[in-house]
């Protein structure tokens, strides 16, 4: 296949970036999108040009490292991670625009690499159960209904890639935060801190500079982990409940 790539090149956070066009010939349909970039980088290196920087690690769709906006859609035309996207999703002669996640709380580090440290800080604000190592009761002490465990799992499947933020017209991180609220809130172990958790995490999310949610649903539509939109409703429910004074411990 012959492909024309327009890739965002940006030296660092301070310098403005621009799209640079690269022509690629002999692209195999069986290549993953990132392998196509690998080959591009090998060619650039051979020509003495600096290779394109992009984040990636596991290349099996679970670590959440990779993620670029391809033709205006986070992770591209398939609902999967960029590393699991294969070139057979494109046609011979296509022009593909590749940009980094764009959100001010995710500043560009270089080319397609952004800093997603804001997500870690949102988790640090309350995305956990406060249990020190060794303090745990026997695992079977508290049965958890299967439906609750399954719902918790579905939300916990979030890989923290940031596609939700990238796709949101408001650059909101609600789906990410809501996934953790829903995960921990669905389980008995998460109940004691439930009311405080939602306020702390949302507060941190706002402080990081993410936009507010307007329930458009782009986030869930591009989420490679399939975190459902209803988690946001759950977060909203928990937040409203936390406004009741007796619920705030």
Partner 1 sequence: MTDGLIDGLYREGEPIADTKAPGVPLAERWSTRVFGGHLVSPNNRRKLKIIVIGTGLAGASAGATLGEAGYQVTSFFFQDSPRRAHSIAAQGGINASKNYRNDGDSTHRLFYDTVKGGDFRSRESNVYRLAEVSGNIIDQCVAQGIPFAREYGGLLDNRSFGGVQVSRTFYARGQTGQQLLLGAYQALERQVAAGTVTTHNRHEMLELVVVDGRARGVIVRDLVTGEIETHLADAVVLASGGYSNVFYLSTNAMGCNVTASWRAHRQGALFANPCFTQIHPTCIPVSGEYQSKLTLMSESLRNDGRIWVPVAQGDTRDPRDIPADERDYYLERAYPAFGNLVPRDIASRAAKRVCDEGRGVGPGGLGVYLDFADAIARLGRDAVVAKYGNLFDMYRQITGEDPYQVPMRIYPAVHYTMGGLWVDYDLQSTIPGLFVVGEANFSDHGANRLGASALMQGLADGYFVLPNTINDYLSAGPFDTVPADHPAVVEAVTSVQDRIQALLGTRGTRSVDSFHKELGQIMWEHCGMERTEDGLLEGIEKIRALRREFWADVRVLGEAGELNQALERAGRVADFLELGELMCIDALHRRESCGGHFRAESQTEDGEALRNDDEFAYVAAWQWGGGDGAPVLHKEALHYENIELKQRSYK
Partner 2 sequence: MAIATQDRKTRPAGRTSVGLKVVMATTGVLFLLFLLAHSYGNLKAFAGQAAYDGYAEHLRTLGEPILPRSGFLWIMGVVLIVSVVLHVWAAVVLWQRAHRARSTPYVAFKPVQATLSSRTMRWGGLTILLFVIFHLLQFTTGTIQVGGSFDSPYQRLVAAFQVWYVVLVYALAMLALGMHLRHGIWSAVQTLGWSTRSREVPIKRTALVVALVIVVGFLAPPVAILFGLVK
Smallest distance from the beta carbon of 185 to partner 1, in angstroms? 10
Region 142-171 residues binding partner 2, contact defined as CB under 8 A: 167, 169-171
Region 216-235 residues binding partner 2, contact defined as CB under 8 A: 216-218, 221-222, 228-230, 232-235
Residue nearer to partner 2 on the CB measure, 89 or 170:
170
**Quick check: 104 binds partner 1 (CB under 8 A)?**
no
Among the listed residues 160, 162, 185, 211, the single contact to partner 2 using CB under 8 A: 211
> Is 221 exposed, middle or buried (CB count within 10 Å of its CB: 0-12, 13-18, 19+)?
middle
Under a CB-based contact definition with an 8 Å cutoff, are residues 72 and 167 in contact?
no
Parallel, antiparallel, or unpaired for β 18-24 and 3-9?
A: antiparallel
DSSP annotation string for 124-192: HTT-S----TT-PPPGGGS---HHHHHHHHHHHT-----HHHHH-TT-B-HHHHHHHHHHHHTSGGGST
Region 79-118 residues binding partner 2, contact defined as CB under 8 A: 97, 99, 102-105
Among the listed residues 126, 160, 185, 224, the single contact to partner 2 using CB under 8 A: 126
**Quick check: 73 binds partner 1 (CB under 8 A)?**
no
**Quick check: 79 binds partner 1 (CB under 8 A)?**
no
**Contact pattern for partner 1 over residues 25 through 64, marking x by CB under 8 A:** ---xxxxx-xxx-xx--x--xx-xxxx-x-xxxxxxxxxx
- d(CA 215, CA 209) in angstroms, rounded, equals 18
The pair of structure tokens assigned to 69 is 């906006």
Region 177-196 residues binding partner 1, contact defined as CB under 8 A: 183-184, 186-187, 189-190
Nearest to 98 by CA among 109, 113, 84: 113
The pair of structure tokens assigned to 146 is 């299967």
- d(CA 162, CA 106) in angstroms, rounded, equals 9
From partner 1, partner 2, none, which one binds at residue 81 (CB under 5 to 8 Å depending on kind)? none
Residue nearer to partner 2 on the CB measure, 63 or 230:
230
């Amino acid at each position: 296949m012959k492909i024309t790539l327009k890739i965002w090149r940006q030296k660092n956070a301070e310098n403005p970036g621009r799209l640079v066009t690269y022509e690629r010939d002999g692209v195999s349909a069986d290549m993953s999108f990132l392998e196509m970039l690998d080959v591009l980088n090998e060619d650039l290196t051979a020509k003495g040009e600096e290779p394109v920087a992009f984040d990636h690690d596991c290349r099996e769709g679970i670590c959440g490292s990779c993620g670029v906006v391809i033709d205006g859609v986070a992770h591209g035309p398939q609902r999967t991670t960029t590393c699991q996207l294969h070139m057979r999703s494109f046609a011979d002669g296509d022009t593909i625009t590749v940009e980094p996640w764009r959100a001010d709380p995710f500043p560009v580090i270089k080319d397609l690499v952004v800093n997603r440290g804001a997500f870690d800080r949102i988790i640090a604000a309350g995305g956990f159960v406060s249990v020190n190592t060794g303090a745990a009761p026997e695992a079977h002490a508290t049965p958890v209904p299967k439906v609750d465990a399954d719902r918790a799992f579905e939300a916990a499947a979030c890989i923290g890639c940031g596609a939700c933020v990238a796709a949101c017209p408001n650059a909101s991180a609600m789906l990410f935060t809501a996934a953790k609220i829903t995960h921990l809130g669905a389980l008995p172990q998460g109940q004691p801190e439930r009311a405080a958790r939602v306020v702390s995490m949302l507060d941190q999310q706002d402080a990081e500079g993410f936009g507010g949610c307007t329930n458009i649903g782009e986030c869930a539509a591009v989420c490679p982990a399939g975190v459902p939109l209803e988690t946001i409703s759950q977060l909203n429910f928990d937040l409203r409940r936390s406004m009741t004074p007796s619920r705030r411990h």
